[in-house]
Amino acid sequence: LDLVPKIWWVIARMSLVATTALDGGQIGTRDEFKDYLIAELCALQWPRFMAVKFGALFKELDLSEGQATKCMIKMLHVLRSTSRLQEMPPLIYQLIGLASKGNRALALQGITSHFSELEKRSGELLSESLCQVQGTVLLHLNFAMKQDQELAKEYLKLVKRLDWAAVAAFDVALLLAIARLPAFEQLVFDAIKTK
């Protein structure tokens, strides 16, 4: 994995890339090669302990929005298949960083729906470990939203489509965390009032 950023950098500076893919197809441009490389990395079965490293790698690369979306879909798939709660916050941290390169709504919707599902499985009384994980993720999201306010705007758009009868505790906590940002305080309260 350590070589991928160097390969990416070299390919980005080449005007022509003439190579053959593993399936025998021809790759002629640097953008085709980058797309191919991302597709191959996302097609791999990642060992659990390497998922965060892949996320950090994707954040480091200069990805197009389409490439970033493909990486986020893979990371969300890994998140949903992760059974250990303590492995979630670092993976989500990498996912949030990657979201700034592309589809913020996809990342936020994936994270919130994942916690909503975990809450449903947990029942009425959330486990202490789930609450701790959610708290850590909320800190990551809050920090990211202070740095990239588009994340907060995107979440508010998602909130407008929420079914408030089935809203998860994580969604409410994230809304309240966003309300602490001065630029969003009134917007959050207006969103809550309209529901």
Note down pLDDT in tens along the chain; length 195 residues.
777 888 888 887 877 777 777 777 877 788 888 888 999 999 999 988 899 999 999 999 999 999 999 999 999 999 999 888 999 999 999 999 999 887 999 999 999 999 999 988 887 667 888 999 999 999 999 999 999 999 999 999 998 887 777 788 899 999 999 999 999 999 888 887 776
pTM: 0.87
**pLDDT given for residue 101 in this prediction:** 86
∠ CA 2-26-29, nearest 5°, is 65
In this structure, are residues 78 and 107 in contact, taking their beta carbons and an 8 Å threshold? no
Distance of CA 85 to the CA centre of its chain: 16
**pLDDT given for residue 195 in this prediction:** 63
Hey, how many other C-beta atoms are within 10 angstroms of the C-beta on 125? 6
In this structure, are residues 185 and 175 in contact, taking their beta carbons and an 8 Å threshold? no
**pLDDT given for residue 12 in this prediction:** 79
Question: How far is it, in rounded angstroms, from Cα 84 to Cα 79?
Answer: 10
Q: Which residues contact 86 (CB under 8 A, 6 or more apart)?
A: 129, 133
